[in-house]
Amino acid sequence: TRPVPKMDVNPVSSSRPGEWKKVDVVDWHERSIGRAVLKVRSVMPMLQNNFPARVRQEILAKQTGKKVTKKEPKDIDRCFLEAMILIGERPTKADLDGGQLKAGTHERFRFAMPAVAFKDAAVEAANKYDDAFKTDARASFWIITPPEDQNMIPLELDAPPYAREDVARQKGTIDIRIRPCFDAWRATINLEFSTRCVSFESLYSWFRNAGRSMGIGDWRLFGKTSTGMFGGFEIVEAAYQLPKDA
């Protein structure tokens, strides 16, 4: 009968049947995981379109049978502020001047983009240009962010975003959308990748093509319902570290 291992032992079979050998899981992790840092910058403006908590609450109230208040007239300033994506504290109407954010506001608040926006763009590029299956590409690398950043990548800005007004047509209706537009931005992407699934050269290629052909944000270069001219970026610096046994 095969012996049952203790709970503090990792069941990795040794050369002799019937024995168990304890493994340093950190060491095994280090043997297969590479790390990379990509610094990117915009090559065209980017639009954000956050899904506001207020709207989520209204939808939830309607779906759970709660009384829903009558829809209020569109508040242009509120639409602009709610569409922003940030880490932590958010600007209020007191930070606006004539419908735009006051100068220097970008230094007080942490504007950001979801890490998954960059990952999705890279996965789409892997599928489109390298014929990689999306499931394989998605499982081969991870974007690493500190817990306090809430899976967001902070944006480095020289000026605050401004309110941009666009006409959107959807299902026969016309809507005026007010979204924050970032003319210039920079970001640092920290990655881990499985060297058994993808090389750094391929990963670099995925992100390079993602910036030039896919983009991030609303009305980006390529998406299921998007063929816009926003959200493009380029890699300006890159570094990587392979595992010690690679």
pLDDT digits (tens, 9 = 90+) for 85-110: 999 999 999 999 999 999 999 999 99
Confidence of residue 217 (pLDDT cuts 50, 70, 90): very high
Position 12 pLDDT exceeds 60: no
pLDDT digit string, tens, across residues 142-162: 999 999 999 999 999 999 999
Position 227 pLDDT exceeds 80: no
Q: Which two tokens stand for residue 158?
A: 């020289």
- Report the pLDDT value the prediction gives residue 7, as an integer from 0 to 100: 47
- Report the pLDDT value the prediction gives residue 31, as an integer from 0 to 100: 79
- Report the pLDDT value the prediction gives residue 86, as an integer from 0 to 100: 97
Buried b or exposed e, range 105-137, using 16+ CB within 10 angstroms: bbeebebbbbbebbbbbbbbbbbbeeebeeeeb
The pTM assigned to this predicted structure is 0.84
Position 230 pLDDT exceeds 60: yes
pLDDT digit string, tens, across residues 48-82: 999 887 777 777 877 888 777 777 788 999 999 99
Q: What are phi and psi of 93, to 5 degrees?
A: -65, -20
